[in-house]
Amino acid sequence: MQDTHATGRATTIPHNRPTVKTKHFAQLVALSALWGASFMLIRIASPLLGPNVLAALRIGMATLTLAVLMRAMRHTWPMGHWRELALIGLLSVALPFLLFAWAALQLPAGYSALLNSTAVVFGMFASAWLKEDTLTLRKVIGCVFGFTGVALIVGLGPVEPSTKVFLAALGCVAASACYGVSTPLMKRALSRMEPLQIAAGLHATSLLMLIPGAAWSWPAAQFTPMALLAVAIMGVVTSGIAYWMHIRILAHVSPVAAMSPTFMIPVFGVAWGHVFLGEQLSTGIFAGGALVLLASALITGFNPWQKWLDVVDAKP
């Protein structure tokens, strides 16, 4: 696999990496921290702005942020790949952002974060089907541990069943499926484009898709300072910069490993709630957090003790 740079040169990147380096695992944890805050911010902004306006503003801020980075780093826009970017953008940005914003009108942030974890399952099978990754027993076991962990962390309480709640939950699963399918497609795109080009291109094409809906809903939106602050944080940090960071990591790990932050997102979601909203912690959170970390290690193949084991096993 090759990574094409703005200079026109290409460097070879291994098609699949069996393990994840410490620095990449740390970056995946950092992504989890950023994306864990997104569900809280969506829950704040969506009732005020509405799903259409929220999704479009978030993507617009991300596009502007990435465009500035493109200019600063002297990257060219990948106009020749707009069809590919439009498909990836639809699956990884436009539909998920819109669906999660709509679901936030009915579901608590913790529910959305938990349902978002299903992206790993969809991605695992999609990556295997597209031959971008291999399906192993270790990864399946990791998914089981991950779901168990997030269930303990979120501690789903009773929600009055209704058609709206059911449809909102279905929307979250559909958004997660989009994430899962889009990740191996991003992996393939890295053979033709830079990570920053992909991030900027998929956000720009997604913005064009959502402008009509946002224009229709614009008069009903309530542009409060809190809602606009939430959009700014999501657009600049958790979408623009985080997506670029995510695609950079994807160049060095398998698609399934790159999606492992979805299991860690609820951990940070609960942590942010405790720090900023005063929500209580419980033993289930600590037990669930341990399972989530174990799941992430199983899925990514990350082993912090491997270097020490290599030294011990080394022949004199």
**Share of residues in the chain with pLDDT > 70 (%):** 75
Residue 30 lies in a domain: no
User: Which residue is it, tokens 């089907």?
Assistant: 129
The pLDDT of residue 58: 97
Which domain covers residue 96, as residue numbers?
46-301
Residue 75 lies in a domain: yes
| pTM of this structure | 0.77
Pick the closest to residue 196 from 26, 65, 15 (CA basis): 65
Cβ atoms of 132 and 286 closer than 8 Å: no
**What is the average per-residue pLDDT within 77-97?**
96
pLDDT digits (tens, 9 = 90+) for 151-180: 765 555 545 667 887 888 888 889 988 988
More confident residue, 170 or 190: 190
Q: What's the domain count of the chain?
A: 1
Cβ atoms of 42 and 54 closer than 8 Å: yes
First to last CA, the chain: 36
Residue 315 CB neighbours (<10 A): 3
User: Which residue is it, tokens 């290599």?
Assistant: 310
Residue 13 lies in a domain: no
pLDDT digits (tens, 9 = 90+) for 44-66: 999 999 999 999 999 999 999 99
The pLDDT of residue 176: 86
Q: Both tokens of residue 91?
A: 């699956």
Residue 294 lies in a domain: yes
The pLDDT of residue 247: 93
DSSP states of 78-106 as a string? -GGGHHHHHHHHIIIIIHHHHHHHHHTTT
Cβ atoms of 166 and 108 closer than 8 Å: no
